A and B are shown apart, each in its own frame.
Chain A
């Protein structure tokens, strides 16, 4: 039921990060406003839809793509990433190894997906499970703001799906950057391309069979 003159945006957002960091829990909290310790491990990919009243004139529909965290599913990410407009990269503050993997996920994302204007897709870093009281960030004294700057994140949040901390805020931050990047004038290098597209590098994976 769209009011007269209301604009609607539809964005595909990726939620990526190592196995067991809480990607599914974050999405369930955000979309269904609840938390359970009993989520099944994600095999392949899962989806959810969140509708936001952005402002009086704008409705934003977010397609959240929940992507399996195990490394070997990384062989399928090219297909999962296609046409995404933004990404959350999640790690678990209680497990330093999942933070170390953040740069790996960011590189994977940027190597397989760019915006029409050639820029990387906006990405927000989520330091999840911050309710657990064990914080590798503080322990290691890593300066998160600087880390984000160096690695091309538009922002970062300490989140907890369990306690519902900062998830709405993180999402607003990402959407804000997506809207901003959309209004960026598209440079004239590739004038034919309207949508974000995969880096058309070596592998065209499975798309060949779709050419009718």
Chain B
């Protein structure tokens, strides 16, 4: 129903300016006014109507574009809502406070993960928001090779923001984590350049995923650090201007947080599900092995969460029906195409 409403002109103008600037070489988004761009417009516009106080943030466009590569527009919209409200609450809001706070959390966690990298960044006075804004706000969709993006997103949907932190920490550790690596990072600019042009080796799917799985950074640590940084933030900046709901760590936490009435209804959508996609809790277990299965989790989400949208459960009857399954964004995505098609 949001699709039919006109939308606020100031957001529509900005969204339209961004439509041709998302994955511009992906065949789905390459043509001006093509189906990909039209759907992207519908999804982003619907979000500004769903949350008029938040409006549109440029970093939402790549997120929505990746979702649209995997599912029809309505499902993509509800997935975007889940990401913006449950997985990464406050990231795209007017003041961008949540992302700045997460920058501090990331930096503090880095102290434990790689003291060398931490010391180097401190010495050169490189604020986390200089390198992690795009990483986190776009969930690495514009940073990693495509096959790694898919793996990271699968894990992110299952386990929540912890995965994003871990990927960031792994990249920092393997880029700036030894005195040998720091030799070519004499100045602030050199370091920034190094973080922008990351080594393909450390972004490679199997290496990165293994490192992310092994990195001992837990939800509890992140929550504890969140409280510490929130306290510091209040001391220096005052109260947060954007009151976001608490962050939920992954699919299981989100479905458990649903009101009981929803829980009771849960078996219903899982019965409608076709045999392919696994239900959310199972996907969590099988995430490392089966990309095909876990890829279905984002598509499950709108139905599982319900959101009071009568249309979304119906959508599940024909999920994965999208013709846009080819992902040719990245040169290094040869492998992903094989697995993916």
Contact = CB atoms under 8 A, between A and B. Distances in A.
A47 B232 contact: no
A173 to B, nearest CB: 23
Interface stretch (B18-26, B45-53, B277-285, B289-297): B18-26
Interface string A71-83: 0110110011010
A149 interface: no
Determine chain A's interface SS by DSSP, over half rule.
mixed
B58 A43 contact: yes
B17 A20 contact: yes
Contact of A19 (B23, B58, B93): B58
A4 interface: no
Contact of B57 (A63, A70, A205): A70
Given A45-B133, A206-B104, A210-B122, A38 B236 contact: no
Contact of B59 (A43, A49, A63): A43
A56 interface: no
Interface in B99-124: 100, 103-104, 107-108, 119, 122
Given A19-B58, A40-B142, A47-B193, A209 B96 contact: no
A72 B129 contact: no
- Chain A interface size, as a band, is 20 to 34
Given A40-B21, A72-B94, A73-B96, A203 B127 contact: no
A41 B96 contact: no
Contacts of B133: 43-45, 76
A104 to B, nearest CB: 15
Interface string B163-203: 00000000000000000000000000100110010000000
Interface string B75-108: 0000000000000000001111100100110011
Interface of A: 12, 19-20, 37-41, 43-47, 49, 63, 68, 70, 72-73, 75-76, 79-80, 82, 203-210, 212
16 contacts: A19-B14, A19-B58, A40-B23, A41-B18, A44-B129, A47-B189, A47-B193, A70-B14, A72-B57, A76-B96, A76-B133, A206-B103, A206-B104, A206-B128, A208-B236, A210-B122
Closest CB pairs A-B (n = 5): A44-B133, A38-B24, A41-B21, A20-B17, A43-B134
